[in-house]
Structures are given as C-alpha cells and as structure tokens.
C-alpha cells in the first residue's frame, strides 16, 4: 500500500519540523513548504493526499486573510484535495470562513498531537475514498458517453436529391437529446429528434431506451402518428414519475414532395422555403411518457426543391446571453433563411457556432440539430 503524502505549509521552520516528526511517526510522508507560492507549485507538480496549512504567513500574520486566499487557489486547482487549516490566531469567524472556502477541518495552535493525528487520519481516509469514487464515476461516465454516442448515426445516409447534416452537442458529455436518420429508400427517409427532461446519466439512460424504441417501431410502412403512439405507450410503462420526452418524427418522401410528421410537444421544426419564407411543423400531440392512451395525429407539409428542413432541440433556442436574453426561435429562423446558399454542413456548423457565440461560455443545455436540404 502506498504511503499517504501530506503537504505541510507554515512560515515557521520549527513548526514545520515538529509537524514532520509527528506525521512521519504516524506513518505518513511529509513535504514541507514555507510560502504561498511554494504551496501552489507543489500542488501543481505532484498529487497529495492532504494539505495541512497555516492561515497566517509573513505578509499578514494575524487575520488569516493570506491563508484564506491561498485556500481558494488550492481548491481551484484540485477540488478533491482535503485541506486542514491551522492558525494560532483562530476565531470562530475565521474557522467558518475557512470551511466556507473548502477546508475540511480546522485545528488551532498549539495543537494536541493525538487530536491532530486523528484529524489527519480521518481526512486522508475520506479523501482517498472520495478519489476512488470519483475515478469509478469517471470511468462509468466515459463508458456511458461512448455507448450513447454509438447509438447515434455514425454517418448520414445517401439520398437522391437530398442532403442531411446533424450536430449533437451535449452540455456535459452525455445528455438527454437524441436524433436518428433512417433511410427507407433512395427517395424516402425518416428523421427523429427528441429531448428527454433532465440531464446527465438518468437522461442518457432514458434517451437510450427511446432510441431503441424508435428504431423498433419506425418501419417504412408505419405512419408518424403510429410511431409516436407506440413509443409513448412503451415509455409510459418504464418512465419515472415526473419525467417526459418531447419528440418529433418526420418522414420525407422526395417522390411525392411531401413531409409527414407527428410532433409530440417538441420545438416545431422549421421549413425554410426557397423564397425565404419559414413554415413550422406544429405540435400534433402531447409529450411522450405522460398519458399512455393519448392519440397522436399526422400532419403534412410540402417539401419542394430548394426547401430546407431544420429540426432542433431547445438547447438551441433557449441558450441565454450574458444579458440573459434567449437566442430564440426567430433568430434561428432568420439566420437559416439568410443562409440558404450554404451547404447543409456549413449551415449546421454556422447555427451551432452562432449559439455558442451567443452564450459566450460553456453550453448551458444539450443542443441538437438536423438540417435537410432538397436540391431536386
């Protein structure tokens, strides 16, 4: 078993040496540093099982402010590192502030050897257990991400006179958005897009069930309302209380020049016409997973050469700027209408980039997009 390594920080040499003797006698490896800069350098250079640090250094020897600021910097670099703070000028306010900033325990000088070793043993053990849990979660999370990504189409199908592009950008590596593209023939294709309420692993698990159900029921002969009804009944038997799914299933028939669809409470897909007009595929039924006996209907819309179909999730339109303004459906439609000369790939990239620029930061929600363009 590897000996636990402890970083000890104090600006007084005699205290550092006393702590080294105590910790080594207790079976730990101790590295000693005497300045704020040394703490940051050591934490960056190698892993530790515990940081035992003074709150007062040479610049400010009474208030603990320098140590409190250091504590925040350490937590920003390694949030999992247990920190025990020590000070000879301790007070309730200082202890509370240290704990608020991430310290696990607070020890006042002069310390009791037995008590200090007990605190160190407890925090090292709990910290090591937490890191093992985090490592297992990370492995499970990565496996879930790979499984979820494998459920999505690996490539868009080849169709005569029609091009398809899709983008899937989960906010946290995995998520509740999903889409599928099912080729029935050279001139007939089905699209599905869905948004599972919630985020993370629970949403990803429900998404995988939904994806499997859609592929089971979306046969070439199935009408969109039948697909919605069958998937809904299956989900209602397995979904947790309070959960639901927005879902839209469309079939594009290029020979007939028509889109048939069923929209279960999903964001209305947009049809950008060749002349710049924008139509919507409105809702035709309740969200999935709420009522097993709900009856869905199938809607129709023309799909002519030069038209484009844009299916999306609310992570696109509900993305918020720094001023707390939504990107919005109107902005999405205007940008799509103004980019009719773009290829489907370029348009998909441009729309995702516009939303990313709008938020000026990390994704706030899962965002998924399908773009279909009819050329002949």
3-state SS track over the chain: CCCCEEEEECCCHHHHHHHHHHHHHCCCEEEEECCHHHHHHHHHHCCCCEEEEECCECCECCCCHHHHHHHHHHHHHCCCCCEEEEECCCCHHHHHHHHHCCCCEEEECCCCHHHHHHHHHHHHHHHHHHHHHHHHHHHHHHHHHHHHHHHCCCCCCCECCEEEEEEEECCECECCEEEEEEEEECCEEEEEEEEECCCHHHHHHHHHHHHHHHHHHCCCCCCHHHHHHHHHHHHHHHCCCCCCEEEEEEEEECCCCEEEEEEEECCCCEEECCCCCEEECCCCECCECCCCCCCCCCEEEECCCCCEEEEECHHHHCCECCCCCECCHHHHHHHHHCCCCCCHHHHHHHHHHHHHHHHCCCCCCCEEEEEEEECC
Is the pLDDT assigned to residue 93 strictly greater than 80?
Answer: no
Q: What is the pLDDT of residues 1-57, one digit of tens each?
A: 578 999 999 988 999 999 999 999 999 999 999 988 899 999 999 999 999 998 877
Rounded to whole angstroms, the Cα distance separating 176 from 314 reads 11
User: What is the reported pLDDT for 309?
Assistant: 97
User: Hey, what are 275's tokens?
Assistant: 């002349």
User: What is the reported pLDDT for 114?
Assistant: 92
Q: What is the pLDDT of residues 75-91, one digit of tens each?
A: 888 888 999 988 765 56
Is the pLDDT assigned to residue 230 strictly greater than 90?
Answer: yes
User: What is the reported pLDDT for 5?
Assistant: 94
Q: What is the pTM of this model?
A: 0.68
When pLDDT is averaged across residues 176-193 and rounded to a whole number, the result is 94
Rounded to whole angstroms, the Cα distance separating 247 from 192 reads 7
Q: What is the pLDDT of residues 106-131, one digit of tens each?
A: 887 888 899 999 999 999 999 999 88
Q: What is the pLDDT of residues 254-294, one digit of tens each?
A: 999 999 999 999 999 999 999 999 999 999 999 999 999 99
CB contact at 8 A, 267 and 279: no
Is the pLDDT assigned to residue 99 strictly greater than 80?
Answer: no
User: What is the reported pLDDT for 199?
Assistant: 67
Judged by phi (left if over 0) then psi (alpha if -120 to 50, else beta), residue 265 lies in: left
* Cα angle, residue 195 at apex, residues 191 and 197 outer, rounded to 5°: 160
Q: How confident is the model at residue 339 (pLDDT cuts 50, 70, 90)?
A: confident
The terminus-to-terminus CA distance of the chain in angstroms comes to: 69
Q: Which of 250, 186, 185, 257 is nearest to 222 (CA)?
A: 250
**In the predicted model, what is the mean pLDDT of the chain?**
88
CB contact at 8 A, 201 and 144: yes
Q: How confident is the model at residue 62 (pLDDT cuts 50, 70, 90)?
A: low
Q: How confident is the model at residue 101 (pLDDT cuts 50, 70, 90)?
A: confident
User: What is the reported pLDDT for 137?
Assistant: 74
State the sign of the Cα–Cα–Cα–Cα dihedral 71, 74, 76, 80. negative
User: What is the reported pLDDT for 58?
Assistant: 63
* Domains present along the chain, CATH in parentheses: 5-142 (3.40.50.2300), 152-374 (3.60.40.10)
Greater confidence (362 vs 40) lies with 40
The sheet that has 162-169: what strands, in order across it?
A: 162-169, 367-374, 308-312, 270-272, 278-280
Q: Which of 78, 17, 21, 84 is nearest to 46 (CA)?
A: 78
Cα–Cα distances in angstroms (integers) from residue 135 to residues 28, 131, 216, 325, in the given order: 23, 6, 36, 38
Q: How confident is the model at residue 173 (pLDDT cuts 50, 70, 90)?
A: low
């Amino acid at each position: 078993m590897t000996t636990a390594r402890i970083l000890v920080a104090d600006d007084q040499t005699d205290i550092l040496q006393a702590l080294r003797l105590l910790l080594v006698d207790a079976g730990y490896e101790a590295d000693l540093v005497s300045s704020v800069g040394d703490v940051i350098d050591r934490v960056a250079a190698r892993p530790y099982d515990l940081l035992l640090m003074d709150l007062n250094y040479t610049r400010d020897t009474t208030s603990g402010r320098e140590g409190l600021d250091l504590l925040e910097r350490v937590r920003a670099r390694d949030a999992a590192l247990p920190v025990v703070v020590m000070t000879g000028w301790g007070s309730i306010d200082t202890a509370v502030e240290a704990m608020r900033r991430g310290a696990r325990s607070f020890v006042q000088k002069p310390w009791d050897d037995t008590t200090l070793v007990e605190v160190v043993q407890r925090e090292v053990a709990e910290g090591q257990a937490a890191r093992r849990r985090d490592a297992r979660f990370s492995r499970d999370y990565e496996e879930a991400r790979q499984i979820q990504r494998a459920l999505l189409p690996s490539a868009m199908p080849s169709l005569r006179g029609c091009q398809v592009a899709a983008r899937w950008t989960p906010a946290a590596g995995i998520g509740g958005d999903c889409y599928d593209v099912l080729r029935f023939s050279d001139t007939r294709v089905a699209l599905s897009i869905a948004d599972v309420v919630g985020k993370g692993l629970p949403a990803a698990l429900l998404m995988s069930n939904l994806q499997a159900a859609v592929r089971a029921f979306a046969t070439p002969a199935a009408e969109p309302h039948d697909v919605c009804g069958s998937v809904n009944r299956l989900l209602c038997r397995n979904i947790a209380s309070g959960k639901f799914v927005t879902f839209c299933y469309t079939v594009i028939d290029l020979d007939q020049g028509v889109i048939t669809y069923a929209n279960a409470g999903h964001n209305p897909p947009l049809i950008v016409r060749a002349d710049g007009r924008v139509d919507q595929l409105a809702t035709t039924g309740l969200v999935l997973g709420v009522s097993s006996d709900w009856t869905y209907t199938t809607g129709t819309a023309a799909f002519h050469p030069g038209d484009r179909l844009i299916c999306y999730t609310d992570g696109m339109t509900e993305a918020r700027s720094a001023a707390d303004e939504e990107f919005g459906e109107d902005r999405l439609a205007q940008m799509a209408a103004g980019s009719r000369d773009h290829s489907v790939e370029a348009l998909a990239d441009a729309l995702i980039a516009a939303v990313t620029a709008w938020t000026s930061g990390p994704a706030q929600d899962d965002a998924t997009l399908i773009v279909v363009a009819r050329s002949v």
